[in-house]
Every structure is written in C-alpha cells, then in structure tokens.
Amino acid sequence: MTSDISDCLMCRLEQGPEEAQVFSDPLWAAEIVPGYDVPGWFILRARRHAERITGLNEDELATFGQRARDLVAAVTEATGAPATYLLSFGENYRHFHALIAARGAQVPPERRNGDILKLRGEIADPTAAALLLPKVRSAYQSS
C-alpha cells in the first residue's frame, strides 16, 4: 500500500529551512517540525519516502540505530531531561520517522510515555525550541 507523497509532511520537510535542522546526511535528517515545535522535540526521518520501518532499505536500516542513538544522546545532554523518548507510530504519517522527545521533570506522571503527545499544544514554544537547537546540534556533532 502506497500513499500519495505529494501530501507527505515528512517529504515536504526536504524543502524546509536548514536552520531548523540538527543534521542532514544522504539518508537521514533531524529537525524541528512546525506543529511539533516543543523545546527538546525533534523528528528523525528518512530522507526518501519510505513507508514504515518495513519500507527502509538496507543502508537506511544499517544507519538508523546510530542516528537515533546519537540524537537521543544529544537531546538528553542539551536538555538535561531525566528521560528522552524515541517514538514511532507511522499511523498519521506513514513516511518513516521517529519523534525524539525530551521529557522534563515537570511533566506529570499521567502525561509520561506515549501520553506526552497530549501535551504538544500546551507546551509548544517555537522560540524556545529554536533557541535550544544550537545546543542540540553541537552535542550531536560531538557524538
């Protein structure tokens, strides 16, 4: 089953601003995504349109773990968060991506784990997210 890539948010990010990116290489990119611009939240996405993890090719599969590990480490270092989540659902956006989400100590227990997504509208702060980006980028480059 294939979706129409012209409507794919993750594909449209290829034309997004470089200043929103943590990194970009030939296979993967990580950035702040409008609508998910919570400080400490980043999308790690396959650069080509690959649906779900089952659509990744061998090179993408071979490099995903390292990119995810390094980004989680960078976000954790930059934010000091007690937990950093790696979430991938593939239901709303089938293009393979993962949300890396720092979970601060202030997040109540009933909004932890997958329920952290329910806070998106309440804690979104595009300015604070952009201000954190250089620190995450630097930590990622050091990993």
Give the whole-number percent of the chain exceeding pLDDT 70. 97
| pLDDT computed for residue 5 by the predictor | 66
| Chain mean pLDDT for the chain | 93
| pLDDT computed for residue 108 by the predictor | 85
Residue scoring higher pLDDT (114 or 84):
84
Measured CA to CA, the distance from residue 50 to residue 57 in angstroms comes to 8
Question: What predicted TM-score, i.e. pTM, was given to this entire model?
Answer: 0.92
Q: Is 46 exposed, middle or buried (0-12, 13-18, 19+ CB in 10 A)?
A: buried
Sorted by where each begins, the domain ranges of the chain are 5-142
| pLDDT computed for residue 2 by the predictor | 44
Element (H, E) at 24: strand 21-24
3-state secondary structure of 70: helix
Q: 61: which residues sit within 8 A by CB, 6+ positions away?
A: none
Tokens at residue 27, please? 């296979």
Give the whole-number percent of the chain exceeding pLDDT 90. 78
Say if residue 84's pLDDT is above 50.
yes
What would the pLDDT profile of 24-76 be if each residue is shown by its tens digit?
A: 999 999 999 999 999 999 999 999 999 999 999 999 999 999 999 999 999 99
Say if residue 112's pLDDT is above 80.
yes
Tokens at residue 67, please? 């990119």
Residue scoring higher pLDDT (6 or 121):
121
What is the CATH number assigned to the segment(s) 5-142?
3.30.428.10
Amino acid at 1: M
**CB-hemisphere CA count at 13 Å for 2?**
5
| pLDDT computed for residue 90 by the predictor | 85
Say if residue 7's pLDDT is above 90.
no
